[in-house]
Structure 1
């Protein structure tokens, strides 16, 4: 396997080398490099037909992956897999034709362009549907909604949640904006650089597992929530006010893909609250060296493709107060308002 190197720019001119594999390894090698979702967090919901489609492979390839350790569950003669495991296999397969790779390139097309467009006000049609399974009756809904006003944005045309049974929908027109506010603290820059130098590998991870950020990092991997929780802890240990916060990465596939997100809000030495979006910096660096401007933007600044929420890093976005033992399920549909 050959490797090429890009560099991640940090505020102040510091750089972090980023490795990119360029060869196409056999499926056994791909599986060997993946940390599969542990049993206690694994949900094997995707049948083999979906696995073949996602990975652009055949039954023989699936056999090879299973033989190499891909966790599987047989139900009535059909093999089922965790979607996170399938996504990670595709993401690091280097075949360039798997669904995760194609989606990743589409997702980050903007990152190689000039960042000025990410700093202007942007308006989104924001809709969230909440569902309560095993619902115990009519009750109020609670939503950790868009939190853009304190960052210079605004909310309009709000359709609030009302007490109901089973499901509810919140809608609003959300305008957010960007601001170039790079980190000025040498300590924050060092802690950020140290995290990027640690070599954690980004993977798709179930949200409940991401909350156990110690376990995630012990496995040598990372994700937006786990990374933000750990980095916020390190910022606080250094004497800074910091909190991991959840939100949404917007406009993905025209709103068809729900992408909850997390980053760190930290009060810098200049008294300004900065946003450190460490996971997006890592992912952009993996895509291309042409994303250097965006990578730097992720380390302190705001950009208009993220809508922050009032939820903390390991909290759920919403709940139904009916008494059901099951948490509310939430799906966002966020589309550019033209």
Structure 2
């Protein structure tokens, strides 16, 4: 199992998960963890117990081939929608959008800057906004967000070629810390990819070909009922017809790996928009939020996005 993934390099690793969590995620006993450690799984001793990076554990589970690990079950459930009719992804959908902001190491009352949902330009709406006010330590953002999908496939043969070349390059999708994803040259040098790293790289290739393109961050909605917060990014590019198109390269990669009958969804990812994604005003390698208190530590952002029926 351990030779199937690339472990998070030490400079980006956060080994805070106790061994008991590793048992739960990987559905194995202590002897199984011993085997993985012997095969190279990095760890640190904390209070006399081994602790691991959660990304390493999730990647081990996802590529274990055992079918019963938490990551395999979660991602299989997550991508069930990708094998269904894509028409379900094109109609309007409302979301109860709530975000909790936490300033770690906060140095006092100060204003917050939050990269809010940016759906209006794609035919969506935002209502009932409660924006974060100046405060100390924590704050929140709330809104009802309506998304809409639309078929707008790439018309540029060059953009489609560049997208196809990336998809066929053989990069393996992995869970990667957000800070490491921004270092997309390192990520790709390891032979792996992620939504932010893929979007930053593809946007760069689009610009090199003469197109206006930018990686943009956002939220992938309805993930296990809002219980799993996955960082997400897409590429926005101005196509030959003058229309801004969205290329969701990582979701196309994941869908291809997790289910064979997702061709229609993968095609939707190459230029079109769909109602399970809420774009934000944040660029691909930027934080969703900052607190102007002077703390140098990043703000923790936890999204809880639930479908409104």
Q: TM-score, normalised by structure 2?
A: 0.99
Correspondences of 1:153-232 after superposition (within 5 Å): 153-232=124-203
Which moves more between the two structures, 304-313 or 128-137? 128-137
**Alignment partners' CA distance in 1, 2:131 and 2:55:** 33
Instruction: Report the CA distance between 1:77 and its aligned residue.
Output: 2.1
Contact 2:203 2:215 in 1 (8 A): yes
Q: Which runs of no fewer than 5 residues in structure 1 stay unpaired?
A: 1-29
Structure 2 distance, partners of 1:222, 1:135, is 33
Instruction: Look up the match of 2:75.
Output: 104
Kindly report which structure 2 residues correspond to 1:1-338, keeping only aligned pairs within 5 A, or say none. Answer: 30-338=1-309
Instruction: Specify the SS of the correspondent of 2:116.
Output: coil
The answer to whether the Cα contact below 8 Å between 2:118 and 2:278 also exists between their aligned partners in 1 is yes
Distance in 2 (CA, whole Å) between partners of 1:77 and 1:299 is 49
Count of aligned pairs between the two proteins: 309
Q: CA deviation at 1:256?
A: 1.4
User: Runs of 5+ in structure 2 lacking a partner?
Assistant: none
Contact conserved, 2:178 with 2:231, CA < 8 A, in 1?
no
1:250 and 1:259 in contact (8 A); partners too: no
Q: How far does residue 90 in structure 1 lie from its aligned partner after superposition?
A: 0.2
